[in-house]
Every structure is written in C-alpha cells, then in structure tokens.
Amino acid sequence: MNQIIIILLSGILVWVLYRSYLSQRIIQKLHASLLKKKRYLLKDSSSQIHLKGLEPLVQEVNALIDYVSNADSESSGFSNQVEITLSAIQEAVFILNQQHEISYANESAETIFNFGASVKKQRLESVVRSPALLELLSQYNVDSPLPIEQISVDRKGEQLWFEASISVISKSKMQKENAILLVLHDITMLKKLEMLRKDFVTNVSHELRTPITIIKGFSETLVDDSESLSDEAKARFFVKIKNNIERLHLLVEDLFTLSRLESQPEQIEYSVQSLERLFTDVKDNYTRRLVKDKQSIQIVFDSRIEPFAFDAHKINQVLDNLIENSFRYAPEFKEITIKATLLDEDNMIECSVSDDGPGIPEKNLPHIFERFYRVDKGRSREEGGTGLGLSILKHIILLHGGAVRAKSIFGEGAEILFTLPYRKALDE
C-alpha cells in the first residue's frame, strides 16, 4: 500500500515538474518574442497554453508587440521624412550635444563646410571656423532664446556670412541632456550685394559731387561778381559750366543704361546679322577722325563666320565704346585692329579691339571692368569719361551669353576681347 502511495506521489511530482517545465518554456518563448518584437505563434504550444490558462497573457503580449512594431514603423517613417526634408533645404542644419559634438548635419551643412564629406562626431569648432558663432553658442539659454544673429565664417581664406539661429531640443528618455539645434542661413551673396550697393552709392555721390561743386562755384561767381568780371572770364566760366553739365548728362545716361541692362535682360533684341558688315560700318564712322597717313583702323575677319543671331545695336555700342577709349586714352596710336575669329571647339566667336597705344598696367587689368574704375583717374575725368563704359560693355556681353577679358603689355598697347555664341538661327 505504501509503495502504491509512493508511486502515486512520485507520478504527481513528475507531472507537476513537467507542467512547471512547460510553463517555464512558454514564458521563455514569450520573453524571446518580446525581445525580438515578433508575435508568439507556436501552434504546438496552443493546447498547453489553453490548459494552463495563459491565453490572455499571450494575447496581451502579442498586442504589445504589434503596438511597439507599429510605433517603430511610424517613427522610422517619420524620421525618414524628416531626414529627406532636412536634406532638401538649403540652410545648413546641425544638431549638437552640450560639448558641441555634431550628432547630425544635413547635406547642405556637409557640402558648405566639408565639401560633402561627413562631419558626424566632429566638434563644431573644427568644422565651422567662427569665433562669433562660438561666442553665440556660449550665450544661449533654454529660458531665453537668442535672436537671429549675423556671423562671419572663414572657409579656407574665403569669408562667408550666415544668419545663425539657435534652439534647444529638450532631452528625452533616450537622451540625458538637452541638444542644440543650429541653423545657418547663407547670406554671403546678400552681404556682397550690400557692399556693392554701398560702394556704388559712394562712387555715384563722389562722381556727382565734383561737377556739381564746379557748376555751383562758377555760377555763384558769375552772380556775385558779375560786374567785376571781364567778358573773357565770363565766357571761360560759361564753358566750364557747360562742360560739367555735359559730364553730368553723360554720367546720368550711363547710369540709366547700366540700370536697364541689369533690371531688364530681355532688352537684348536678337536678329540674324552680318558681323563683318557691322565691323565695316563702325570703321567708316571713325575714318574722318583719323590723322591722315598716320593712323588707321584695320579689320581682320574670319571668312568662316556667316551671319548669326546677336543684337546689332548693342554690339555696335560695345565696339564704339572700345574704339572711343582708344581715341581718348591712346590718342597717339598708329593702328586700331578690329578682329573676329571662329572658335570651333566652343561654337563661339571671339572678337577683339586692340591698339598700339601706351597699354594698361598689369595691376589694373583685373579691375578695369568694375564700375567707376579708372586707370588714370585725373586724365579720365579730363577726357570726359564716366568710368562706366567697360562695365556697360561687360553687361551687354554677359547678356548675350559671352565673356569679356583684357590683355595688355604696358607700353605696347591694349586688347579687349569678348565672345559671342555662334547661333546661325534665332531658335538655336
């Protein structure tokens, strides 16, 4: 009898241990499912799960896994959308930790500051060289956001300007500290335009001041001392006033021309014309001004050039400007050459006007197309130049789609060259 009881008890114990083992295995598999974020779907365990009353637990675990998986999918999708959006914008965007280590930089930031290479995990000061930015970052406060500031950045000797905006990204459960969102909006071009505008206003004011002062001075003298002035002095004063009024008129006309070219590029009126005929017409216009048997204008024209599309009136203006400069600043020249050559490899025509006058000093060559720039300021004003002629010329050529440059050996002459696209039809 005792043996039967012992056998029964042993059987019950084995059955309990087996049930316990099965329960432990089911719980281990549920735990593994949670870790892998995969639903518990083992069919061979369904009877045991039902027998042990674990179905509600399995259902809750599966529901939790589904919820987490959906949340991860949505979060991943949202993160991808944010990544795509930040990559598309032109502003440089950085996310930094409190030690200024970069945890994220968008495509624009890496392009601007590291030529497209990754800057992740680098310190900001090693990527963006700007003491002003570091000073700005040291001042930021969570409770009082900083206003947008303009800062300068040195990039391999080149000065860039940005509007810097700093915000705080509050810490989350995954982050132990706040992060810093830094957005840099490139305003380098605006700064350059602002400087050009200031220089332009300063130069215009200076150019206007001189003739106006002269006109004012002589006019006041004529009014105040009219009785004491001789007729000869009065006539001389009137000539001075007239010359300076003409100078003002030329300056205002050139300013209007430059303004129209900059604001209305559609003013270029293309038509298929003979460039060789235009060269000949321009030459004929200046024949009477040449010193007989001492000066000449020569045309060198590439016979392969056929009529093509360009604005004849404006190219005529360009040629007139260059030839007038030879008469004005190299009056002792012996020969002016107007030349046109077909550049087959570029499908462009290169034109030039050269003279054998005194030439242009090498240091001045890079600046002669700038507004109001004069090689010899005193002589240019005496000759009636406004300092805008070559700037107007450059705009006309750029609007045609060409380029302009200058060559000179000081003491041996100067040559201004420009290119024009060789389009034989208007629709090319």
What integer pLDDT is reported at residue 51 of this predicted model?
45
- Structurally, what CATH architecture does the domain formed by 192-263 represent? Orthogonal Bundle (1.10)
Q: Report the sign of the C-alpha dihedral through residues 198, 200, 203, 208, in that order.
A: negative
Rounded to an integer, what distance in angstroms lies between the CA atom of residue 43 and that of residue 38?
15
- CA end-to-end span of the chain, whole Å? 114
| Cα→Cα distances 71→65, 66, 75, 77, Å | 10, 9, 6, 10
Output the DSSP codes for 12-53. Answer: HHHHHHHHHHHHHHHHHHHHHHHHHT-----GGGHHHHHHTT
Place of tokens 């005529």: 316
Show me where the domains of the chain are located: 2-81, 90-186, 192-263, 264-428
Tally: H helices and E strands in the chain: 12, 12
- Can you say how many angstroms the Cα of residue 42 is from the centroid of all Cα atoms in its chain? 62
Topology adopted by domain 264-428 = Heat Shock Protein 90 (3.30.565)
What integer pLDDT is reported at residue 351 of this predicted model?
95
Do 192-263 and 264-428 share a fold? no
Rounded to two decimals, what is the model's pTM? 0.56
Q: What is the token pair recorded at 85?
A: 């959006």
Q: Which mean pLDDT values do the consecutive 10-residue runs of the chain (428 residues) have?
A: 60 55 60 59 49 56 63 50 59 85 84 83 86 82 70 84 82 68 86 77 75 86 84 87 84 76 73 93 91 90 93 92 89 92 90 91 84 64 67 89 90 91 80
| Cα→Cα distances 252→161, 284, 289, Å | 33, 28, 26
What integer pLDDT is reported at residue 322 of this predicted model?
92
Rounded to an integer, what distance in angstroms lies between the CA atom of residue 321 and that of residue 313?
12
Topology adopted by domain 90-186 = Beta-Lactamase (3.30.450)
